[in-house]
Every structure is written in C-alpha cells, then in structure tokens.
C-alpha cells in the first residue's frame, strides 16, 4: 500500500492586515492609529497526499492555494492544525526535511544573477552536501532531461526566460528532492517551453517517484500532469478528487451536431424531446447527458437519414474556468 507523504488536519492560517481608508483623512488616521483586520486565508482544511502523486491545486486568485503550498514547504507557520510532510513538521525546517523538498516559483529566482548558472548549481550542491563528482553527474543528467547545454556557462542575466526557468529547475532539483512544490511553474513561458516543462515534470515523476504539488492557471499544466485536483475557494477545500470526475461533474453533457437530408427530419427531430441548442438549415445542434449518450445516439441514427455528425465536449479550459469564475 502506498503511504501518505503529506497529512494535513484542520490547518488554518490567519494574517493580520492593516487597512486604510482613502483620502487625506484616512492617511492621517492611518498615521496615528493603524487599524488591522484578521484575515483567515486558509480555513480548517484536511487532505492527504500519497507518495508519487501529482496533485494540482485549483482556485481563483487569492483563494489560498499558494498559502497552502507555503505552509506545506515550511515557509509559513500555520495558525492552527496538524501537518506532517515526509514525517516532519515543515515549519521546524529541520535539515533532514529541507533536503527532501524543493519549491519552484514561476518568475522568482534563486540563481545568482551576475555569474553563470553552473556556479549556482555547484553552490546548491554543496549546500545539500553533494560531492563535486556526484554534482557533475546530476548536472549532466538534469541538463539532458531539460535540454539545456552550454547556456549554463553564461551569466544568468544573459539567459532567456525559458532558459532561465530550466536553469532554475536544475538548481532546485540538484539534490533529488522527493517532494516538489511548484507555484505557477510555467508562468510567462511560451507554448513550447510550457510543453517541454510539463514533459520534464512528468518524466521526473516517473523516473524518481517524486510527489508533485502544483498550482497553475494554465489548465494544460493541470490536465497534462494531474490525475487528482484539490479545488480551493476562499480558504476552503471545495473539491478533492479525480480530475476526470470533476470534469464529469462540471460538464455532464456532450454536444452533438447532425446534418439531416431533409427539412422533414428536422421537424421530426423536434418531437424527440431533446435539448436543442440551435437549428441552422438542415443542421441541428443538441446536448445529451453523458449517461444517456449511447442510447440516444443509437435512436437518432436509426430514426433519421443523416449526412454528417459531429460530437464534441466543452473545452477543458472553459470547464475548469467555471471553478475560477463561478467559484463553486
């Protein structure tokens, strides 16, 4: 049985935020007496993650996804609750725990700007007690996986965003972490670079069995990598389960377009009591529930003389977007 690598029980996080009303009056009031509000951004959440899983965190901006990642990797101290990551309490930041994890943030860098990336790789290797010989091996292997070559000998400031992101990944993975926290890892990358990065992460997961937790607003990152998703809304978990099941729940119907040979067929079709979306000459578009899909399609094909048929599902971005827009 695969064991849980992450366990979260009733975790909450509250931030103290200072507020200010606009205008000179508000400014003066703010100067003499600061007003603060307590904002609970993560609210009593519970979940477990198994070793080797890739889990996507979905939610609108400010939902609490990144805060959860920060708590899990030990950057933030939770206000209440129990948390265990790889058998440690993350916020204690013990070396044995830190050696198992990495955090990668899109557009944030840990590489030293003015010197070649290779120097930062060696520095990171030494921080994690990796001998130089072993470090050279790992850099070679990761460079091949990431398809990055002589660029690592250039000062970081001279690299393109895509090259820099690859170098950042290499630096973050040199110690072979078994848990990866990725916060918007493909942010700002072009389509090819995004695809390469996704492929790399999938390969890394397969080769090392690493657990990956990911937040992204690019749905392709989620659909390509994650079988399981956790949806967050205003600090609560609103869904935790298979992505496929979520898509079925949010999009229970298929859309079918048929082109009939005659107008008479169209008239007869209307009598079927199906949900018609639109009629355009001999073309009729209707939706059917995925459960009744086979039965209904069979009936339509038997009863009508059809010239052409097209079956489609709503685009995945649109479906997942419902979570972000409707926040349900």
Partner 1 sequence: MKNSTLYKLNTLFKTQYANMLEYRAEIALWAISGVIPFFMLNIWTNNGLNESINISSVMLSRYFLSAFFVRQFSVVWVVFTFEEDALLGRVSPYLIQPLHPFIRYFAQHIAEQITRFPFALFIATFFFILNPQSLWMPSILTIAISIISTFFSFLIQFLMQSIIASFCFWTEKSSSVEKLLFIPTLFLSGLLAPVASFPNYVKSWIYLTPFPYLIDFPASILSGNQTSVVGGLLIQLLWIILFFSIFKKVWKSGTRKFTAMGL
| Beta carbons within 10 angstroms of residue 5's beta carbon | 20
Residue 93 interacting with partner 1 (CB under 8 A):
yes
Task: Compute the half-sphere exposure of residue 175: CA atoms within 13 Å on the CB side of its CA.
Answer: 23
- Which tokens go with 132? 């130089």
* Cα-based distances in Å from 30 to 16, 37, 160, 252, 271: 15, 13, 43, 51, 68
Residue 6 interacting with partner 1 (CB under 8 A):
no
Q: Out of 49, 63, 70, 139, which residue is the one contacting partner 1 (CB under 8 A)?
A: 70
Q: Out of 6, 11, 65, 124, which residue is the one contacting partner 1 (CB under 8 A)?
A: 124
Q: Segment near partner 1 (CB under 8 A), from 90-98, 199-207, 243-251, 274-282?
A: 90-98
Q: Segment near partner 1 (CB under 8 A), from 43-51, 126-134, 235-243, 296-304?
A: 126-134
How many residues touch partner 1 (CB under 8 A)? 34
Q: Give the separation between CA 311 and CA 318, rounded to whole angstroms.
A: 17
Of 86, 118, 119, whose CA–CA distance to 102 is shortest? 86
Nearer to partner 1 (CB atom), residue 183 or residue 221: 183
Task: DSSP letter for 315, please.
Answer: -
Q: Give the separation between CA 140 and CA 47, rounded to whole angstroms.
A: 37
Contacts of 201 (CB under 8 A, 6+ apart): 54, 180, 182, 185, 212, 214, 225
Nearer to partner 1 (CB atom), residue 128 or residue 224: 128
Contact letters for partner 1, residues 25-64 (x by CB under 8 A): ----------------------------------------
Residue 182 interacting with partner 1 (CB under 8 A):
no
Q: Give the separation between CA 108 and CA 105, rounded to whole angstroms.
A: 5
Residue 20 interacting with partner 1 (CB under 8 A):
no
| Beta carbons within 10 angstroms of residue 40's beta carbon | 14
Residue 194 interacting with partner 1 (CB under 8 A):
no
Nearer to partner 1 (CB atom), residue 77 or residue 82: 77
Rg of the chain over CA atoms, in angstroms? 25
Q: Give the separation between CA 108 and CA 158, rounded to whole angstroms.
A: 16
Closest CB 209 distance from partner 1, rounded Å: 21
Q: Out of 115, 259, 316, 324, which residue is the one contacting partner 1 (CB under 8 A)?
A: 115
Nearer to partner 1 (CB atom), residue 76 or residue 246: 76
Residue 129 interacting with partner 1 (CB under 8 A):
yes
Residue 105 interacting with partner 1 (CB under 8 A):
yes
Contacts of 200 (CB under 8 A, 6+ apart): 145, 146, 169
Residue 187 interacting with partner 1 (CB under 8 A):
no
Q: Give the separation between CA 306 and CA 212, rounded to whole angstroms.
A: 48
* Cα-based distances in Å from 239 to 44, 46, 56, 83, 169: 14, 11, 11, 20, 29
Determine the straight-line distance between the first and last CA of the chain, rounded to whole angstroms: 33
Residue 183 interacting with partner 1 (CB under 8 A):
yes
Residue 73 interacting with partner 1 (CB under 8 A):
yes
Closest CB 181 distance from partner 1, rounded Å: 9
Q: Segment near partner 1 (CB under 8 A), from 71-79, 187-195, 225-233, 245-253?
A: 71-79
Residue written as token pair 């590489």: 111
Binding site residues, partner 1, CB under 8 A:
15, 66, 70, 73-77, 91, 93, 95, 98-99, 101-103, 105, 108-110, 112, 114-115, 119-120, 122-129, 183
């Amino acid at each position: 049985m695969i064991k849980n690598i992450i366990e979260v029980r009733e975790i909450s996080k509250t931030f103290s935020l200072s507020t200010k009303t606009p205008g000179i009056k508000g400014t003066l009031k703010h100067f003499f007496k600061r007003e603060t509000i307590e904002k609970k951004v993560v609210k009593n959440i519970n979940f477990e993650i198994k070793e080797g899983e890739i889990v996507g965190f979905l939610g609108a901006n400010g939902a609490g996804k990144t805060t959860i990642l920060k708590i899990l990797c030990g950057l933030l101290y939770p206000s209440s609750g129990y948390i265990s990551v790889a058998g440690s309490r993350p916020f204690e930041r013990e070396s044995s725990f830190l050696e198992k994890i990495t955090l990668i943030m899109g557009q944030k860098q840990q590489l030293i700007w003015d010197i070649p990336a290779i120097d930062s790789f060696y520095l990171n290797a030494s921080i994690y007690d990796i001998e130089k010989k072993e470090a050279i091996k790992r850099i070679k292997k990761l460079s091949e996986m990431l398809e990055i070559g002589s660029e690592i000998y250039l000062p970081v400031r001279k690299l393109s965003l895509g090259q820099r992101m690859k170098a950042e990944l290499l630096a973050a993975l040199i110690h072979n972490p078994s848990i990866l926290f990725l916060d918007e890892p493909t942010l700002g990358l072009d389509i090819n670079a995004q695809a390469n990065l996704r492929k790399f992460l999938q390969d890394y997961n397969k080769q090392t069995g690493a657990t990956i937790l990911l937040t992204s607003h690019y749905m392709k990152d989620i659909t390509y990598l994650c079988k399981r998703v956790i949806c967050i809304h205003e600090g609560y978990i609103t869904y935790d389960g298979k992505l496929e099941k979520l898509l079925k729940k949010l999009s229970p119907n298929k859309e079918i377009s048929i082109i009939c040979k005659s107008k008479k067929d169209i008239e007869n079709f209307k009598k079927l009591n199906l949900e018609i979306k639109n009629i355009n000459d001999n073309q009729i578009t209707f939706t059917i529930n995925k459960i009744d899909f086979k039965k209904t399609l069979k009936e339509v094909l038997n009863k009508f003389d059809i010239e052409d048929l097209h079956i489609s599902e709503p685009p995945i971005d649109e479906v997942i977007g419902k979570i972000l827009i409707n926040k349900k």
